[in-house]
Structure formats: C-alpha cells, structure tokens
Amino acid sequence: MTETTDHPSPQRAAAERGPYRVVIVDDHAMFRTGVRAEIGRSVAVVGEAADAEHAITVILQTQPDVVLLDVHLPGGGGVEVIRKVHEKNPDQKFLALSVSDAAEDVIGVIRAGARGYVTKSISGTELIDAIRRVAEGDAVFSPRLAGFVLDAFSGSIDLATVDEDLDRLSQREREVLRLIARGYAYKEVAKELFISIKTVETHVSSVLRKLQLSNRHQLTRWATDRRLV
Amino acid sequence: MTATDSSQLEPDLHHSETGSAQPASADGQSTAASDATSDSGQPAATSPASSAGAADSGQQTALPVSGAALRASVARAVPEDRAVPEETERPRATRVAEGAWLGGVCTGLARHLGWPLIAVRVAFVALATFQFIGVIAYGALWLLLPPESTVKAPGLESASRAGMRDESRPKRRVDWGMLLALIALGVGLLWIMQNTGLGISSQLFWPVAFACAGAALVWRQADSERQKRWRDEAGGKAWLAPFVARGGWPSLVRVIVGLGLVGAAFGIVLAQRGEISHLPEVMAMTMLALAGVAIVLAPWLHRSRTALNQARAERVRADARADMAAHLHDSVLQTLAMIQRQADDPRAVQQLARRQERELRNWLYGDELHEATLKAALTAAAAEVEDERGVPVELVTVGDCDTSEAIQALVRAAREAMVNAAKHSGADKIDVYAEVDDESVEVFVRDRGKGFDVETVAEDRLGVKGSIIDRMARHGGSATIRSAPGDGTEVRLELKR
C-alpha cells in the first residue's frame, strides 16, 4: 500500500501518538524474531507467545494496542485466541497474519473478530502501517480479503432471502472494496471516488462489521464450499 | 493347512521367546533382547507388584521381547519350499490393520501365504468349531504376529528401500498380561470341554460365545476415542475404565447389552440342561471362565485395540506423508539448491523464492483450479509473468467462468498488460483484479510504476495497440488505459458475456 507515502517515516507517525504496544503471537520463533526486528523500532513489542493458551495469558496481562495473530496456531488457532480474549476484554484489537490465503482462514478469523488480515509476505513498513490503522480502530483490508468479501456478498445469493441490511453491501461499500481489490490504497480510493480518507475508512469498517455480524450462514458456507469447487 | 501352520508356529514361537531370554542375542537387537532378559530372566531385580502395575498402565514399560526374533521365527515356521516362484519377495507374516475384522491375523496370513482371504477366515472359523483350536490359534497369532511394519518418515523409508541406510527393525512389545490372558483362555476352554465330557463343546459353545461377546462388549468401551480420559479417571487402570469412567449413554447401553449377553449364556446353558441342580456347577465354570477372560483380557484387549487403531490412522497418514516428501524434494529442496548457487544475484534469489512460495502456498492452501476457467488461465498467466520478469503479480478474482475464445483473448491481453507493466513501469508489484458477473467480465491490471502519457505513447506502442486494444476490440470487448507520468498505469479490459 502506498499509504506509507503518507508517513515516509513510520517512526515519526508512531512517535506522535506514542509507540503502539504490540504482542506477537506466532508458533514460529524465527518469524517472531524477524517481525520484531522489522517493526521493533516503530512499535513497542511488549510480549510474544507461541501457542493459544500462552497467548491468551500474555494478551490479557499486557493489554496491548494490537495483537499480531497467526491464524494457524497450536491449541485451537487464532480464532480460539480471539474468542477467549474477547470474553474477558471485548475491546482487544487483533490483526491476523498468515501464510495461508485460503478463504475460510481469512473469513473465519475476521468473523471471529480480527480487525484486519495481512499475509506474512507483507513488508515491514506496510505491517507498521497496518498496525497503526488497526490500533486507531480502522480495518485493514488486503486486496485479497476485499476480493473474498466481494465474492461472499456477491449477487449469487438470492436477494429475496436477504432481509437484513447486514447481509448486503451498499453500492458505495462495493465500490470501495472493488478499488481495494484492484490494489488501490485507501488514499487512492478516496481520490478515485472523490471522498475523504476518513470516509473510506468508515466504509471499510462498516464492511468489516457486516462481515462479522452478518449471521447469514451462507457466508461461512461460502468460504468452506469454495475449497471444494 | 492353517492348523498345521499354526501348530508349527506355536512351539517355535514360544521357544524363540524363551530363547530371547538368553543373553547371547545374535541378531544385533542387543538392547531389546537384553531388556527382555532383565525382565524375564531376573525377576528378583524388580518386584512383581511394580511390574504388574507397569503392565496395567504401561505403554513404555511393556516387555520388549525382540521383535526381530519373533518375526524371524514366524518366517522360519513357514516352509521355504512353499514359496511361489514368481513372487520376488513374499510379504512378511504380520497382522494387517487394514480391512481387519478382529486382529488382522487372517488378512496378514492370507497376504503372507498368498491364499484368498476368505479361505483363511473360513479355515479359522471351521477350526474354531472343532474344539476351539481355531480360536486358540487365532489368539496365539494375534499375540505373536507383529503388527504391519510401522510407518517411518517418508524420506527414511525411501532411503531404506534404496538400501541407503541400515535397516533397524522396530521393537515389538509383548506383555505378560497378554500371555496370561491367552493361557487362561486356553486352559479355561479346555477345562470346559473336558468337563462337558468327550470334548464335545457344541452344547457349551454358544453359551460361551454369548458370554464372551457380552464381556467383549463391556470391555470394548476401553477402546473409544475418549479412552484416554477414561483411563485417567480410572486412575490409570485400563481394566477399570469401563466401570469407573463416565461414558454417557452409549457406554451404558453397551454395558447393559453386554451383561445381558452374559445372562443369556447362562439361560441357554440352563435351558439345554433343563436341570436346576446343575446350576452351581455351570455357574462356577462359567464364572471362572468369564472372570479369567474378562479381567485378564481387558488391559490387553484395550492395548492391542489401541495399537490397532493407531496403526490404522498411521497408515492413512503415511500416504499423505509420502506425497509430501516427494513434493518437498521436487520443489523446495531444488529451489534451495538453486538459491545457494545464485546467492550473488539478489534478483534471481528473490525470483526463486517468490516462485517457490507461490507454488508451495498453492499446494498447501490453494483451491483446485479447473483447467478451463478464467481464474485458472489468469493464475497461469500471472505465474508466467512473475517467473519471466521477476515482478510479483497479485491476482484477486471474484467470480469465475468457463473460457471461450473471447475469454482466452481477454487473458492474453491481460497477460500482455502484465508483461508491459513488468517491463516498463519499474513497479515492484503488479495488481491484477478480475471480476465476473452476469453481464460482463472485467480485468484490471495495475502497477504503481512511472506511468506514461497515454495520448502520445499509446498509439505507437505496438504491444499496447496490437495485443491489447485491438485484440479486445476484435472479440467484442474494450480496453482502456489510464496512466500519467509518475502515477502508475491501470489497464482495464472488459468483455460482455
């Protein structure tokens, strides 16, 4: 995302609001070390964990701004961590991180309550930017996640059965998502649609909420079925 | 035939077992053999109580009689001259978990002897009705035949096959609980046959069969998936598990049906005899047999079935693991080697890593793409560009459709746009987005490179004109290019369906 051009020095951006406190949860020590080295200067890594049980304890203890959470994790996966932590602290923010691009992983962890999803190949600056975004309460949508959501909410589902607003994307939300899927950063989306970045963020957060709250079971089934096609 | 086989087997096997207690073990299994020696040969060293306890709860402490010795003797027990000439190597006599009804003995023997499976089974059943010889033989073989060779890491397995490593045989555990159970079973059955006179057991066969089935049903409990929890609840005593542990209503039903069967056994006996006066004798006999069978058999049954289930699961996993090993060898290992060779060229290394990542990711998590769809075609095109040009291509698709001539043209145009972006834009990433809905197919190819002035450049750039704009027009579609110096480029391809 060229969003980083907004903040040529992420250190400065972080310094303005104080460094965000981050917990890294991943079962690969090598990956934790790597991420720590990459983002450690811009954010304060206050804890690490390698499995779900340990992660829950660490997160509840340290109450970080953002948890970088691996989707595949011994002890129930990232979804389990989010669920257990949200029982005690519903405001805890999670940014999911995975090598997997599988639809059910992505949709599953978002529906469990993560505020964003990025793949592990993300660059350090992009990751810092994503952390900042999540910490500020916004959602982080990668092009792939946007594509999944568009697919999941696409017209293939009979509109007559869609009675709730939650089960439908507004025209504007769809436009925003399409641009994100095309590789546009939030800033570029705003420029393209002649709206403010804040409005883009509002739309994305609204999509995230729909994704999480829509109890339309087609959504999960869509993610599962997709593997079989 | 089976009778002779097994009767040949038994003494031989028992012999070899006692033989393993002798210190000199010639087959290199010195650790296993000496373990067995210390347990059987020096009972004074460990107190009987502790070893009994170990047998009850024990996974690791079960007596490790040398599997090599046992297997060797089994192989010896079958005369060599019966070997079928055309077969290069006859499979070892093992218990085969796959497709087993009981212990996998028949399956294993059938495979070993090259007989039809049904023939072996019928032989055993026929022998069973004849003074229980079949049952005893089956039990002995169940006890003594090693389970089918355990699964090794696929790499090791292939190395072993290729003779690249020393083949060390897996240890096999035999515990005295099993032996005692069998002895009790055999003695009990013989005793019953003798007591009923002339060894004619048909009158008692069904009662005993009922009783055994009942007991088995009760103990079968110890073999469900929750057995570990049950065992914990029973304080590590497997034989207590069915009674102590909470198993829910299915287990209750099992216990009731099981006890009912045992009761039925008594009923049959009484009905056959028609004499109440015999009740105490019959009761005593059956009770003794049952007590012997049930109590002594339980931990063994429990363990052997656990092992059986594990073997079954292992088997399923083995194939998957072998596939994985082959895959890793073909892909990751080769890539790593190439990366080391080209360590001086960061671009090549990145390209290799990227290609490998894509390939591995696709293999691990990827959707299976049908051959002839837009998505598959675009994925292939993106991968090609990525490999040729070394620029990552991020492809996102929403919806999909079958390819047609027009769709193929669309894909070729998209590929050309990707190549252009990779070649000229200088961007470090290309985003490709395809969306299929009811009316149209749209593909966007976007880069954040240096861009160009569309008005001046597009016309005379053959790649753009010929292979993108004109191609789309020929197939009833359209291509629009948005670009400005410093702003990157986006090519939009559209096709009405």
Decide if pLDDT at B21 tops 60. Answer: no
> 0.95 cut: is pTM over it?
no
With a cut of 70, say whether residue A183 has pLDDT above it. Answer: yes
Give the model confidence (pLDDT) of B39-49 as tens digits.
443 444 434 44
Interface with B, mutate which of A71, A182, A187 (most B CBs under 10 A): A182
Average pLDDT, chain B: 66
Indicate yes or no: CB of B394 within 8 angstroms of CB of A151. no
Looking at residues B413-436, what average pLDDT do you find? 89
Give pLDDT, residue B180. Answer: 67
Among chain A residues, the shortest Cα distance to B488 is held by A184
pLDDT (0 to 100) of residue A227: 44
Q: Which chain B residues touch A182 with a CB distance below 8 Å?
A: 396, 431, 433, 444, 446, 490
- Which residue of A99, A105, A150 is in closest CB contact with B398? A150
CA distance B326 to B359: 14
Average pLDDT over residues B482-493: 87
* Distance set, CA A207 to CA A67, A194, A198 (Å): 21, 19, 14
pLDDT bracket for residue B389 (50, 70, 90): confident
- A167's CB contacts (< 8 A; 6+ apart) are A153, A210, A214, A216
- The average pLDDT across B346-361 equals 82
- Give A227 to chain B, closest Cα distance, Å: 6
Listed in sequence order, the residues at least 6 apart from A228 whose beta carbon sits closer than 8 Å to its beta carbon are: none
Binary contact (B394, A144; C-beta < 8 A): yes
Average pLDDT on A76-99 reads: 88
**Span A193-197, average pLDDT:** 92
| C-beta atoms of B433 and A181 within 8 A | yes
Residue B431 pLDDT level (bands cut at 50, 70, 90): very high
- pLDDT bin (cut points 50, 70, 90) of residue B129 is low
Kindly compute the dihedral angle of the four CA atoms of residues B91, B92, B94, B97, in this order, to the nearest 10 degrees: -30
Please report residues of A whose CB lies closer than 8 A to that of B396: 143-144, 146-147, 181-182
Does residue B398 register a pLDDT over 50?
A: yes
Q: Does residue B199 surpass a pLDDT of 70?
A: no
In one-letter notation, the amino acid at residue B281 is E
Query: In angstroms, rounded to a whole number, what is the distance separating the alpha carbons of residues B131 and B199?
Result: 7
Question: Cβ of B435 and A150 within 8 Å?
Answer: yes
> Which of A135, A66, A77, A64 has the alpha carbon at shortest distance from A109?
A77
Region B441-465: mean pLDDT is 77
Interface of B with A in 455-494 (CB under 8 A): 490
In the numeric block, the tokens 């892909």 are attached to B331
Would you state the pLDDT for residue B99? 57
Residue B261: pLDDT band (50, 70, 90) is confident
The whole-angstrom separation of Cα B268 and Cα B265 is 5
Look at A18 and A217; give whichever has higher pLDDT.
A18
**pLDDT-derived band of residue A159, with 50, 70 and 90 as boundaries?**
very low
CB burial class (10 A; 0-12, 13-18, 19+) of residue A16? exposed
Chain B residues with CB-CB distance to A102 below 8 A = 365-366
Give the residue-averaged pLDDT of B90-119: 71
**Distance of residue B201 Cα from the nearest chain A Cα, in angstroms:** 55
Lowest mean pLDDT segment, chosen from A40-49, B90-99, B332-341? B90-99
Lowest-pLDDT choice from A6-15, A136-145, B349-358? A6-15
A·B CB contacts under 8 A: 59
Q: Do residues A176 and A189 touch, judged by C-beta distance below 8 A?
A: yes
Residue of A nearest to B400 (CA): A151
**B56 Cβ partners below 8 Å, 6+ apart?**
B177, B236, B237, B238, B239, B299
Average the pLDDT over A75-98 and give the result: 88
Instruction: Name the token pair of B150.
Output: 């355990």
DSSP state of A27: S
- Looking at residue B424, its amino acid is H
Q: Is a pLDDT exceeding 80 seen at residue B490?
A: yes
* pLDDT band for position B352 (cuts 50, 70, 90): confident
Identify the contact set of chain A against chain B, taking CB-CB distances under 8 A: 2, 99-102, 105, 121, 143-144, 146-147, 150-151, 154-156, 178, 181-184, 226-227, 229
Q: Which of A28-37, A126-135, B186-195, B323-332 has the lowest mean pLDDT?
A: B186-195
Chain A hits for B361, CB-CB cut-off 8 Å, are 99-101
Query: Which one has a higher pLDDT value, A65 or B242?
Result: A65
Alpha-carbon gap, residue B230 to B245, rounded angstroms: 5
Residue A84 near residue A56, CB atoms below 8 Å: yes
- Among B440, B488, B390, which Cα is nearest to A184's? B488
SS3 for chain B is: CHHHHHHHHHHHHHHHHHHCCCCCCCCCCHHHHHHHHHHHHCCCCCCHHHHHHHHHHCCCCCCCCCHHHHHHHHHHHCCHHHCCCCCCCCCCCCECCCCCCCCCHHHHHHHHHCCCHHHHHHHHHHHHHCCCHHHHHHHHHHHHCCECCCCCCHHHHHHHHCCCCCCCCCCCCCCHHHHHHHHHHHHHHHHHHHHCCCCCCHHHHHHHHHHHHHHHHHHHHHHCCCHHHHHHHCCCCHHHHHHHCCCHHHHHHHHHHHHHHHHHHHHHHHHHHCCHHHHHHHHHHHHHHHHHHHHHHHHHHHHHHHHHHHHHHHHHHHHHHHHHHHHHHHHHHHHHHHHHHCCCCHHHHHHHHHHHHHHHHHHHHCCCCCCCEHHHHHHHHHHHHHHHHCCCEEEEEECCCECCHHHHHHHHHHHHHHHHHHHHHCCCCEEEEEEECCCEEEEEEEECCCCCCHHHHCCCCHHHHHHHHHHHHHCCEEEEEEEECCCEEEEEEEEEC
Contact at CB, A100 and B433, closer than 8 angstroms: no
- B142: contact with A, CB 8 A cutoff: no
Q: Are B173 and B62 in contact (CB under 8 A)?
A: yes
CB contact under 8 A, A178 and B435: yes
Q: Is the pLDDT of residue A121 over 70?
A: yes
Give the per-residue pLDDT at B169: 38
Minimum mean pLDDT range among A104-113, B143-152, B387-396, B468-477: B143-152
- How large is the average pLDDT for residues A102-113? 80
In the prediction, which pLDDT does B25 show?
A: 39
pLDDT of residue B264: 72
Any CB–CB contact under 8 A between B386 and chain A? no
User: Can you list the positions of beta strands (E) in A73-152?
Assistant: 93-98, 116-119, 140-141
The pLDDT of residue B196 is 59
Label residue B333 by pLDDT band (50, 70, 90).
confident
Query: Does the distance separating the beta carbons of A227 and B396 come in below 8 Å?
Result: no
Mean of pLDDT values over B239-250: 52
Three-state DSSP at A66 gives: strand
Q: What is the pLDDT of residue B296?
A: 67
Residue B367 near chain A (CB below 8 Å): yes
Question: Is the CB of B448 inside 8 Å of chain A's CB atoms?
Answer: yes
Position B443 pLDDT exceeds 90: yes
Pick the more confident residue, A21 or B94: A21
Q: What is the pLDDT of residue B33?
A: 39
Q: What is the mean pLDDT of residues A82-107?
A: 85
* Between residues A173 and B201, the one the model is more confident about: A173
pLDDT per residue over B47-79, tens digit each?
Answer: 444 443 333 443 333 334 444 443 444 433 444
Percent of chain B, pLDDT > 70? 46
Range scoring the smallest mean pLDDT among A106-120, B147-161, B473-487: B147-161
Q: Which of B357, B396, B438 lies closest to A121 in CB terms?
A: B357
* pLDDT, average across residues B189-206: 57
Check pLDDT > 50 for residue B32.
Answer: no
- Determine which of B365, B373, B444 to mutate to test the interface with A (most A C-beta atoms within 10 Å): B365
Kind plus residue range of the DSSP H or E element containing A219: helix A217-228
B264-303: pLDDT as tens digits: 776 766 666 666 566 677 667 777 777 777 776 677 777 7
SS3 A155: coil
The confidence score (pLDDT) of residue B60 equals 39
List Cα–Cα distances, B387 to B116, B349, B430, B446, in angstroms: 54, 12, 13, 18
Cα B213 to Cα B222: distance, rounded to the nearest angstrom: 15
Q: What is the pLDDT of residue A85?
A: 92
Q: Is the pLDDT of residue B428 over 80?
A: yes
Average pLDDT over residues B314-339: 80
Q: Has residue B28 got a pLDDT over 70?
A: no
